[in-house]
Amino acid sequence: MISTYQEFKDSLQLQQPPSSWSVHLRSLWFDAKNNWHASHDLVDQLTDTISKQIHAYLHRKEGDDWNAGYWYRQAGKPFCKLTLDEEFQLLVEDVLSN
């Protein structure tokens, strides 16, 4: 299992994320590989807070601020003002720490 953001970034050389990874980490991995749909499909129906945060980030990334705002509210978080790269790193680090 990986434990740092750098190890996560290094894993992007793989063809697929390890199946032993959490659904959240796999979702973020697919996003990092520019596969928005695969990333979204993994968290779309989940109701836990981190899934909602990832869902919000993904809609913000696609430019759908209204939908992103809905998912941030569902997660109990304010609309993120960080850059997408900064938010992505925080999400990965949050998933790795839990």
pTM of the complete model = 0.96
Per DSSP, 82 falls in state: S
**Range 50-63 burial, b when 16+ CB lie within 10 A, else e:** bbbbbbbbbbbbee
Summarised one tens digit per residue, pLDDT across range 52-93 is 999 999 999 999 999 999 999 999 999 999 999 999 999 999
